[in-house]
Amino acid sequence: AQSVTQLGSHVSVSEGALVLLRCNYSSSVPPYLFWYVQYPNQGLQLLLKYTSAATLVKGINGFEAEFKKSETSFHLTKPSAHMSDAAEYFCAVSDSSYKLIFGSGTRLLVRP
């Protein structure tokens, strides 16, 4: 069975600092991996996805993630945090089926 673990339910950074949100996955087949963002009182929006092409994936709003098979990780990074990045971030995994399995989410707080 597939699963996703997000380390840290809350991450706090200063504006301008590096953002690092951690995601580890478990999958018996080559996974497809996603990062979604949820702003307050809104639905989820795709940031980026890995679908077995390039291991370094660039997304919207300056975010990127690197697929590391040896570490079963897909951590999300952004070089410089903006106040507008404050939101809930979800890592998710799927296989060839119709199902997305989400992690428990990480709330990003950005301090001025």
Partner 1 sequence: DTAVSQTPKYLVTQMGNDKSIKCEQNLGHDTMYWYKQDSKKFLKIMFSYNNKELIINETVPNRFSPKSPDKAHLNLHINSLELGDSAVYFCASSQTGTGTDTQYFGPGTRLTVL
> Which residue in the set 1, 28, 40, 98 belongs to the binding site for partner 1 (CB under 8 A)?
98
Instruction: Give the residue among 78, 105, 77 at the shortest CA–CA distance from 91.
Output: 105
CA-to-CA distance for 54 and 68, rounded, in angstroms?
11
Residues in contact with partner 1, counted by CB under 8 A, come to a total of: 25
> Which residue in the set 45, 55, 80, 84 belongs to the binding site for partner 1 (CB under 8 A)?
45
CA-to-CA distance for 11 and 15, rounded, in angstroms?
13
Pick 70 or 97: Cβ nearer partner 1: 97
> Which residue in the set 3, 26, 51, 55 belongs to the binding site for partner 1 (CB under 8 A)?
51
Structure tokens at 54: 């390039």
CB 76 within 8 A of CB 61: no
User: Interface with partner 1 by CB under 8 A: which residues?
Assistant: 32, 34, 36, 38, 41-46, 49, 51, 88, 90, 94-102, 104-105
